[in-house]
Structure 1
Amino acid sequence: MESTTRLANVAWEALFRAQATLAREFERDGEWGDLLGREYGVLYALSVAPDGLRIIDLCDDVLLTQAGVSRLVGRLERRGLVERSDDPHDGRASRIRLSAEGVEVQRRVGRAHARHVAKAMTRALSPEQLRMLRDLSLALTAEAEAVSPPSRTQSERNPT
């Protein structure tokens, strides 16, 4: 009989490899236009944050260092896809928002990416399995955040 420790590690490795394999496919075969996948990740994170996000909040979303996100945001800003404004809650910080062009680019690239994700996920999983995967992933994320919460507040992650 397989121990729980061994099973947990094998399950983690399978999950990690599945995510990495699909991420490589999306990066390689995606319809990103002149964006890099990580640049799209920033645009997507901002698309669900109408009040914008601070750099530190973007780090939580796109899983990059603060320096990496700062450079990436700088490139997107020079291209006119994002803009900065003062943070009304923190005079030392600024908030990053999508520009009008950034909204258009995110929507266009996002539609193509969503089709690619759906194709990749449904070639191996049924709708029932997709729901189960979603629920299991959300449970893992919620428990991990309960142990070590990200820097953003719940209201900033899920604006109403």
Structure 2
Amino acid sequence: MAAVDVRAAVAAWEALFAAQSQLLRRFEREEVWGALSLREYDVLYTLTGFEHGTARLRDLTEATYVAQPSLSRLVDRLAAAGLVVKETVPDDARGVAVRLTDEGRAVQQDIGRRHARSIALHVGAALGEEELAELARLCDKLRAG
């Protein structure tokens, strides 16, 4: 493995982190969320990636990077709104699964379309087509380790 330029690596990390933080602040200010927060939407969106829109709470915690106590309260709010249902896990009395309801899926899709337009505005307009592809490639490479 070649020697790593620590300063360059730190500068790249700081630039990536600052860009992500700035974009998240912009997205939070967008009027696309309806009655939901960005984090609540993220839970609905994340559930769409699980089979049948259902995930164990611990898997959802890992996938959303939200601490378990905070996620439990967030899921309770989504359940009270009828967007998800909490279910027991067969053969695991303490296990909890979260399932996206039909209404939750419809809300996620509606907000998702508006959020996609917001992403296009804030990310797509700032970068050219080749830059967007390169950014996606580099992020995939970082995730892969």
Same fold (TM over 0.5): yes
| Counterpart AA for 2:77 | R
Q: How many angstroms apart in 2 are the aligned matches of 1:127 and 1:135?
A: 12
Deviates more, 1:88-97 or 1:21-30: 88-97
Q: Percent identity?
A: 43
* 1:76 alignment partner in structure 2: 78
The residue that corresponds to 1:146 in the other structure is none
Could you tell me how far 1:90 is from its partner in structure 2?
3.9
- TM-score for the superposition, normalised by structure 2: 0.91
**Distance between the aligned counterparts of 2:57 and 2:26, measured in 1?**
28
Q: Which runs of 5+ in 2 are unaligned?
A: none
Report the counterpart of residue 31 of structure 1 in structure 2.
32
Q: Distance in 1 between matches of 2:62 and 2:133?
A: 24
Give 1:89 deviation, angstroms.
6.3
Offset of 1:29 from its aligned partner? 1.6
Report the counterpart of residue 55 of structure 1 in structure 2: 57
- For residue 67 of structure 1, what is the aligned residue in structure 2? 69
Farther-moved stretch of structure 1 (83-92 vs 58-67): 83-92
| Residues in 1 aligned to 2:31 and 2:7: alpha-carbon distance in whole angstroms | 35
The 3-state SS of whatever aligns with 2:112 is helix
Task: Give the secondary-structure state (helix, strand or coil) at the position aligned to 2:85.
Answer: strand
Q: Is 1:111 aligned to 2:91, yes or no?
A: no
Q: C-alpha deviations, 1:136-159, integer Å up to 9, x for none?
A: 11111111xxxxxxxxxxxxxxxx
Measure how far apart 1:33 and its partner are. Answer: 0.3
Deviations 1:110-154 (A, max 9, x none): 1000111112112211111111111111111111xxxxxxxxxxx
* Partner Cα separation in structure 2 for residue 43 and residue 109 of structure 1: 10
Q: Following TM superposition, by how much is the alpha carbon of 1:87 offset from its aligned partner in structure 2, in angstroms? A: 2.5
Structure 1 residues not aligned, in runs of 5+: 144-160
C-alpha distance in 2 between matches for 1:113 and 1:85: 29
CA distance in 1, matches of 2:104, 2:16: 32
1:88 to 1:127, Cα distance in 2 relative to 1, 3 A: farther
Q: In structure 2, what is the Cα distance between the partners aligned to 1:75 and 1:90?
A: 24
CA distance in 1, matches of 2:130, 2:92: 44
Structure number with greater CO (CA < 8 Å, separation at least 6) is 1
Q: Which residue of structure 1 lines up, in the alignment, with residue 16 of structure 2?
A: 15
Aligned residues: 141
User: What is the alpha-carbon distance in structure 1 between the residues aligned to residue 111 and residue 99 of structure 2?
Assistant: 17
- Determine helix, strand or coil for the equivalent of 1:92: strand
Question: Normalised by the size of structure 1, how large is the TM-score?
Answer: 0.83
Q: Which whole-Å deviations, capped at 9, do the CAs of 1:42-61 have from their partners, x for residues lacking one?
A: 00001121331111111222
